[in-house]
Structure 1
Amino acid sequence: MPAPSNAFKASLGGDKPLIGLWLALADAYTAEICAGAGYDWLLVDGEHAPNDIRSIMRQLQAIAAGRGQAVVRPVAPETWMIKQILDAGAQTILVPMIESAEQAAEMVRAVRYAPAGKRGVGAALARASSFNRIPDYLQTADEEICLLLQVESRAGLAALDDILKVDGVDGVFIGPADLAADLGRRGNPGHVDVQRHVEAALHTIMDAGKPAGILSSNLSLSQRYVEMGARFVAIGSDVGILAGGTQRLCEDFRKSILNAP
């Protein structure tokens, strides 16, 4: 019996945009709610959310009950972090802060077993192999791992052509928030200068034959990216939905009381 099929990786090769949601509440209960909402993929954020390997694993378990596919972002492009996340059962990884082809190649090695890579062989103890109940896991796991790299700096954009030439990279994601900061537009990813760089990068990725991805809570921008041909686009976050929704509910009710006859 082989490793489980990676539905997200298979869908990247289709003709339908994959719509995602960022999960930063670091809670399996809310992850389960979001997983049933109809998104194609859900990003469990280990970089900016208060997650550890146990909370990531619990969210993977919760998401598995829904139709959306899990993607996990580690804190940093570190092999040991990726090893733990893969053993916890993640099959799709979005690695942040990639700025060179050398880094990209190192991440490819991190998600593959030897001799092609350097992922530690510990699947007999791991959720990834159904606790050693998948007899062919070691022989088949590499093919089902989806490696996405996040480019979000001027250095990353300068190296983008070389990053795209690295064999084993399944898609490249542009991070507009950090890119805006690096371009001197911190907190303003919608600025025309930032968007010029974002759109050029997305075109470069797509012209190289790779799936391009991005996150924006600005739905007009998200629609623009989809129309351009971006394959996996996140349109918001659980934190944003909760913070915005609770505030609007309170404000709207207070206004209705004040305006009541």
Structure 2
Amino acid sequence: MASPSPADSFRTRLQRGDLLVGSFIKTPTLHATEILGGIGFDFVVVDEEHSPFDRQATDAALFAARATGAAGLVRVPTAAAHHILSVLDCGATGVLVPHVASAALAAQVAAAARYRGGRRGYSGSVRAAGYGGGRMADYIAAADAATTVVAQIEDPEALEEIDAIAATPGIDALFIGRGDLTAALAAPSNDSPPIRDAVARIAAAARRAGKPVMVFVGGMAEATWLREVGATAFVHSSDQGFMKQAAARALAEMRALGQPGA
């Protein structure tokens, strides 16, 4: 499938504040990505941090994303440069990097994801480069323009540097990690007052830096609140979450056949 024009790229749409809907991919096959991309999800996030993805499984999921026209992001397991390079070479649209707790780390992440002014390692033979044959300078320019780098803010110490993290050149968006913030702050839930305060601080820093906000949501109630705060890119549930919800509903409906009066 042809790459989108710069005006329609995921990075451009994210930066201009389009409403974007995606989901986590937790199952290491290409099928869930193919299904979600095929029905029109804007993007998927292959979750290497919390799911059993190896490089081959990630490669397959990214192939499916490209085939359906969905943007394929990867939540890498760490901020290490080799993790970022691996998924970008496989053709990822961008990376979601966990535990970006300082401006110094944000700068390292941004550098690892880009060639010019950065430290991304070059290979012209990978999927991202069209398996060779093109001009190196053209590929590098296109890759730097399209690669999307999202910093996940999920540590209390990140809140102390949030303005500097948000303002880091090369960081395209902030992802608010309410789950880890809830655990770290010993909050009773991911929408309790301490978490709402943290969300507001992160969103305000993003506004000051002119950066979009990405969030995970389990349903419309959370999405409505976080949309009001300023989020524009929503990771709604996951392939496993959708399957479990649909299966539970179908099972309940079928069990009802055995009830009196059914």
When normalised by structure 2's length, the TM-score is: 0.91
Q: In structure 2, what residue type is equivalent to 1:162?
A: A
Name the counterpart of 2:59: 57
Structure 1 residues 150-161: aligned runs within 5 Å: 150-161=152-163
Structure 1 residues 185-224: aligned runs within 5 Å: 185=187, 188-224=189-225
Name the counterpart of 2:122: 121
Partners of 2:250 and 2:261 lie apart in 1 by 16
Unmatched 5+ residue regions in structure 2?
Answer: none
> How far is 1:218 from its partner?
3.2
Partners of 2:204 and 2:20 lie apart in 1 by 17
- Secondary structure at the aligned position of 1:195 is classed as helix
Name the counterpart of 1:33: 35
Q: Deviations over 1:90-118 (max 9, x none)?
A: 1211111100000000011101226x121
Q: Is the 8 A contact 2:44 2:71 kept in 1?
A: yes
When normalised by structure 1's length, the TM-score is: 0.91
1:134 equivalenced with 2:134 (yes/no): yes
Name the counterpart of 1:109: 111
Unmatched 5+ residue regions in structure 1?
Answer: none
- Secondary structure at the aligned position of 2:67 is classed as coil
Name the counterpart of 1:145: 147
> How far is 1:207 from its partner?
2.7
- Secondary structure at the aligned position of 1:172 is classed as strand
Percent pairwise identity: 29
> How far is 1:220 from its partner?
0.6
Q: Is the 8 A contact 2:129 2:139 kept in 1?
A: yes
> How far is 1:5 from its partner?
4.8
Name the counterpart of 1:90: 92
Q: Residues 179 and 48 (structure 1 numbering): CA distance in 2 closer, same or farther, change over 3 Å? A: same
Q: Is the 8 A contact 2:10 2:146 kept in 1?
A: no
Which runs of 4 or more aligned residues in structure 1 lie more than 3 Å from their structure 2 counterparts after TM superposition?
3-6
Greater Cα shift, 98-107 or 83-92: 83-92
Name the counterpart of 2:239: 238
1:18 equivalenced with 2:20 (yes/no): yes
Q: Is the 8 A contact 1:5 1:144 kept in 2?
A: no
Q: Note the aligned Cα RMSD (angstroms).
A: 1.8
Q: Deviations over 1:57-111 (max 9, x none)?
A: 1111111122422111101111011111111111211111100000000011101
Q: Is the 8 A contact 1:4 1:144 kept in 2?
A: no
Q: Is the 8 A contact 1:57 1:88 kept in 2?
A: yes
Q: Residues 33 and 257 (structure 1 numbering): CA distance in 2 closer, same or farther, change over 3 Å? A: same
Q: Is the 8 A contact 1:17 1:226 kept in 2?
A: no
- Secondary structure at the aligned position of 1:234 is classed as strand
Name the counterpart of 2:171: 169
Partners of 1:196 and 1:168 lie apart in 2 by 26
Partners of 1:4 and 1:112 lie apart in 2 by 19
